[in-house]
């Protein structure tokens, strides 16, 4: 059996030989002699193959024992495939239909076989190319509410919750990467950092900005100490694939317990970065204006749907450790319950703004950058747009307590251009 073979990375030639006896692939695809394989991994860490036959197609994702973005000099545990599988199972149960169907997990080979999402496109790419995704904000708002609520102490009973927390605390290597690459490196002169030529003075100023560094440290403390729910942990627009009417979340290997605002804030940050760069990727002013309106509307819908769905779950599914009905509803105090809900949503919102501000910094000054900026060939334009996004990100992180609504934040984004 495959499990007894020591780990070896797959390639397009070896994949049919090594997986050709697995019923999970042969049943849907037919015999391996008819498979066509290509490697499509565009992420920072793993191998991803699309396997196609005349009967259908599947995706095989395999972890490498090092970080692909840096190379073999950065060893990484294969365990992340295990955590990705465990996380996708939970996220899929909490918001059915929003992650790819899982077909097979092979721990020894650190590989996952899943539904091939087609004709879905990675949302980052779709947004750069000017595609309209009218359901994106709604779908992601629902996803965030359902996964973050149902993974939390408001939903889960004590034993299951503690067991889950213990399990995911094993994903320590990826937690450590986020702690360093997101919350620390961009705010100091770290060896893995890079930035666009022309941004030197801005990078220096960031590293001397005490108020911003205090905010970064506060958000890092929140991330590291507030084990509120099971997060996706890497929910940027490159971890979402969509069509006009369907939206799927992929790439959950960073899953860990953390504050709800982290997933929300990272996602919003990438929508706002798409907003700041839209003109560079559009031929004319009117399509850029329309794209800008749509991106801000997507951010607004995402937060509003999140808040509405979360409120609905709060009223109907609050059965876990933090149920709290005994303190409120059971004593006839629904107003008290609603006040507790409003207080919690306010905390998630402030956290989300703080995390969004930090995420923008790490994507411009840290190791892992994003195509919205990287694809702008004119380095002067790229640096100028990055400066604007950084100013916006700083405002979010430092002044997160002063911005009450997503509409207010969108107005600030418009005003900063």
* Residue 254 · residue 171 · CB < 8 Å: yes
E strands, 146-197, are none
Q: Is 73 helix (H, G, I), strand (E, B) or coil?
A: strand
Which residue has 């022309």 as its token pair? 198
Q: Report the C-alpha gap between 379 and 165 in whole angstroms.
A: 44
Confirm or reject binding of residue 100 to ligand ADP (CB under 6 A): yes
80/278 with CB nearer ligand ADP = 80
Q: Write each residue from 233 to 272 as x if it is in contact with Mg ion (CB under 5 A), else as -, in one continuous string.
A: -------------x----x-x-------------------
Residue 34 vs residues 11, 12, 50, 278, 364: alpha-carbon distances, Å = 16, 13, 13, 42, 44
81/360 with CB nearer Mg ion = 81
Q: Exactly one of 43, 233, 259, 354 binds Mg ion (CB under 5 A); which one? A: 43
Q: Write each residue from 44 to 73 as x if it is in contact with ligand ADP (CB under 6 A), else as -, in one continuous string.
A: xxx-x----------x-x------------
Task: Give the count of beta carbons closer than 10 Å to the beta carbon of residue 134.
Answer: 12
As measured in angstroms, the least distance from the Cβ of 25 to ligand ADP is 14
Size, binding site for ligand ADP by CB under 6 A: 21
Q: Report the C-alpha gap between 205 and 208 in whole angstroms.
A: 5
Nearest to 317 by CA among 191, 75, 153: 153
294 — phi, psi (to 5°)?
A: -70, -40
**Residue 40's binding partner out of Mg ion, ligand ADP, none, with CB under 5 to 8 Å set by partner kind:** ligand ADP
Q: Write each residue from 273 to 312 as x if it is in contact with ligand ADP (CB under 6 A), else as -, in one continuous string.
A: ----------------------------------------
100/292 with CB nearer ligand ADP = 100
Retrieve residue 102's tokens: 């899982």
Q: Write each residue from 237 to 266 as x if it is in contact with ligand ADP (CB under 6 A), else as -, in one continuous string.
A: -xx----------xx-x-------------
* Residue 360 · residue 181 · CB < 8 Å: no
Residues near ligand ADP (CB under 6 A): 40-46, 48, 59, 61, 100, 114-117, 122, 238-239, 250-251, 253
């Amino acid at each position: 059996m495959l499990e007894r073979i020591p780990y070896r990375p797959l390639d397009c030639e070896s994949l049919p030989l090594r997986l050709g006896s697995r019923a999970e692939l042969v049943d849907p695809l037919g015999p391996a002699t008819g498979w066509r394989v290509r490697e499509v991994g565009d992420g920072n860490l793993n191998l991803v193959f699309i396997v196609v036959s005349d009967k259908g197609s599947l995706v095989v994702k395999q972890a490498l024992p090092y970080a692909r973005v840096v190379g073999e000099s950065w060893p990484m545990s294969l365990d992340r495939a295990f955590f990705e599988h465990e996380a996708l199972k939970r996220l899929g149960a909490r918001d059915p239909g929003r992650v790819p169907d899982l077909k097979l997990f092979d721990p020894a080979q650190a590989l996952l076989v899943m539904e091939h999402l087609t004709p879905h496109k990675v949302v980052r790419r779709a947004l750069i190319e000017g595609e309209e995704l009218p359901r994106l904000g709604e779908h992601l708002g629902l996803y965030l509410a359902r996964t973050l609520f149902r993974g939390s102490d408001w939903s889960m009973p004590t034993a299951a919750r503690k067991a889950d927390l213990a399990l995911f605390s094993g994903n320590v290597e990826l937690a450590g990467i986020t702690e360093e690459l997101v919350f620390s490196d961009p705010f100091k002169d770290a060896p893995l950092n890079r930035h666009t030529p022309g941004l030197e003075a801005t990078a220096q100023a960031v590293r001397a900005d005490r108020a911003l560094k205090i905010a970064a440290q506060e958000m890092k403390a929140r991330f590291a100490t507030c084990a509120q729910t099971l997060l996706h942990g890497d929910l940027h627009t490159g971890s979402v694939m969509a069509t006009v009417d369907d939206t799927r979340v992929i790439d959950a290997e960073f899953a860990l317990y953390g504050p709800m605002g982290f997933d929300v804030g990272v996602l919003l940050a990438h929508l706002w970065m798409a907003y700041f760069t839209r003109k560079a990727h559009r031929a004319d002013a009117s399509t850029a204006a329309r794209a800008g309106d749509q991106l801000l509307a997507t951010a607004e819908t995402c937060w509003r749907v999140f808040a509405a769905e979360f409120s609905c779950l709060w009223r109907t599914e609050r059965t876990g450790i933090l149920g709290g009905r005994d303190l409120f509803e059971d004593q006839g105090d629904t107003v008290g319950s609603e006040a507790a809900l409003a207080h919690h949503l306010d905390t998630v919102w402030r956290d989300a703004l703080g995390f969004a501000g930090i995420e923008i910094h790490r994507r411009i000054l840290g190791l892992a950058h994003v195509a919205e900026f990287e694809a702008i060939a004119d380095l002067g334009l790229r640096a100028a747009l990055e400066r604007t996004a950084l100013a916006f990100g700083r405002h979010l992180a430092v002044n997160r307590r002063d911005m009450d609504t997503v509409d207010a934040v969108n107005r600030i984004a418009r005003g900063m251009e």
